[in-house]
Amino acid sequence: MIKEGVLFDKLADKKVKCNVCSHRCTIAEGKLGLCRTRQNKDGKVYTLIYNTVSSEAVDPIEKKPLYHFLPGTLSYSLGSIGCNFRCQHCQNWNISQTTFEESHTIEITPETAIKRALESGSKSISWTYNEPAIWHEYTYDSAVLAKRAGLKTIYVTNGYITPEALLRIAPYLDAFRVDIKSFSEDFYRKTCGARLAPVLESTKLAKELGMHVETVTLIIPAKSDSPEEITQIVRWVHDNLGIDTPMHFTRFHPMYKMDDLYPTPLDTLEMAYDIAKKEGMRFVYLGNVGGHKYENTYCPKCNTLLIDRLGFRVGAVKIKDGKCPECGEGIAIVV
Ligand code: SF4
């Protein structure tokens, strides 16, 4: 559904500048922005994907992944189509890099989404699968309603959102699950068609605005697996988001335009884990490695097993009043 957008500047000759994501596209009349979901019509920006849903599911929140935010609960999850990135390894390329003609979508209004979220027994609503920042108007309206209904709200995002857009939705957004894909501008430019710096800026801002932040780094063999680069990412998170920030290092599987690579060796993921722990991060996780002990949450002081996970399934959560029941250490977690 088409709806007039927000956050744009009018330029000469009926051109517009979209200020929703950090590309800040200048769009000529009749043309689309880089995400192909926002169009200049007669000198105004319109979103083409208001109410437009490609994917709807009730997921364990661990699938986002979010490990320190309502563990063991369900999150009603919606995705639309389009993306502002062009990742060569995209897992959801069939919805993120598609056109309207090729895509299968249904209409779900914000009101219906909130109703379905509540009916499903979910404690939260997540905008995920494709990039939620480009779905700004719809996710904003939905987030306002979600908060009124007592639901927590989650962006699963590449972080390429402008400060204006983030500040606008911030009063209604609880969690910012962000990818830090690499610490190399070259990687972001060549592999994703974007830049690293705005991702770091928005992530820092989300933290300053009081959102719960967890980071995910997909480790791609020969692309983003050097100890030096992993150390840079960890140090940035340590210094800017704090040592209690959950960091996830996830296994790459050959996908889309990167189907000629091999899956990330377990040794490489464990190397990333060791680096993050050595640098002082307290909650580090490995992903896409079902059954590995580093899916679990351990007390950073006495090493007691606090949350037992197997894939997306959660066993007992042993944290009591935000503390380890054995040694009393404070555990930063939203329950
Ligand atoms: S959301 Fe980003 S990619 Fe899409 S039109 Fe706006 S600035 Fe361009």
Neighbours of 297 (CB within 10 A): 25
Of 312, 7, 32, the C-alpha closest to 139 is 7
DSSP category for residue 70: S
- For ligand 1, say whether the CB of 22 is within 6 Å of any of its atoms: no
Give the H/E segment covering residue 309.
strand 305-310
Average pLDDT over residues 228-235: 98
Candidates 37, 134, 161, 162: which one to mutate for ligand 1, based on the most atoms within 8 Å of Cβ?
A: 134
Candidates 4, 7, 15, 21: which one to mutate for ligand 1, based on the most atoms within 8 Å of Cβ?
A: 21
Question: How far apart are the CA of 79 and the centre of ligand 1, in A?
Answer: 17
Judged against a pLDDT cut of 90, whether residue 110 lies above it is answered with yes
Neighbours of 216 (CB within 10 A): 20
Residue 65 preceded by cis peptide, ω within 30 = yes
- For ligand 1, say whether the CB of 34 is within 6 Å of any of its atoms: yes
For the chain, state the CA radius of gyration: 20
What's the token pair of residue 227?
């100890």
CB-side neighbour CA atoms (13 Å) of 184: 13
User: At a CB cut-off of 8 Å and minimum separation 6, what does 99 contact?
Assistant: 36
| Distance from C-alpha of 199 to C-alpha of 77, rounded to nearest angstrom | 23
Of 217, 223, 216, the C-alpha closest to 258 is 223
Candidates 25, 140, 192: which one to mutate for ligand 1, based on the most atoms within 8 Å of Cβ?
A: 25
Ligand 1, atom nearest to 27 Cα? 5
- For ligand 1, say whether the CB of 181 is within 6 Å of any of its atoms: no
What is the model's pLDDT at position 103?
84
**212 CB-contact burial (10 Å; exposed 0-12 / middle 13-18 / buried 19+):** buried
What is the model's pLDDT at position 247?
98
CB 33 within 8 A of CB 27: yes
Question: How far apart are the CA of 23 and the centre of ligand 1, in A?
Answer: 6
pLDDT band at 100, cuts 50/70/90?
A: confident
- Cα torsion for 57, 63, 69, 75, to the nearest 10°? 10
Of 279, 3, 245, 13, the C-alpha closest to 137 is 3
CATH 3.20.20.70 in the chain: give the residue spans.
Answer: 52-295
Ligand 1, atom nearest to 33 Cα? 5
Where does 166-296 show beta strands of DSSP type E? 175-179, 212-219, 247-251, 284-287
* CA-closest residue to ligand 1 atom 7: 24
> Torsion-angle region of residue 191: left (phi > 0), alpha (psi -120 to 50) or beta?
alpha
pLDDT band at 42, cuts 50/70/90?
A: very high
Ligand 1, atom nearest to 24 Cα? 7
What fold is seen in the domain 52-295?
TIM Barrel (3.20.20)
What is the model's pLDDT at position 101?
76
Q: Which position has the token pair 């494709």? A: 130
Question: How far apart are the CA of 298 and the centre of ligand 1, in A?
Answer: 40
| Distance from C-alpha of 220 to C-alpha of 10, rounded to nearest angstrom | 41
Judged against a pLDDT cut of 80, whether residue 303 lies above it is answered with yes
**Polymer length of the chain:** 335
- For ligand 1, say whether the CB of 14 is within 6 Å of any of its atoms: no
Mean pLDDT of the chain: 96
Judged against a pLDDT cut of 80, whether residue 99 lies above it is answered with no
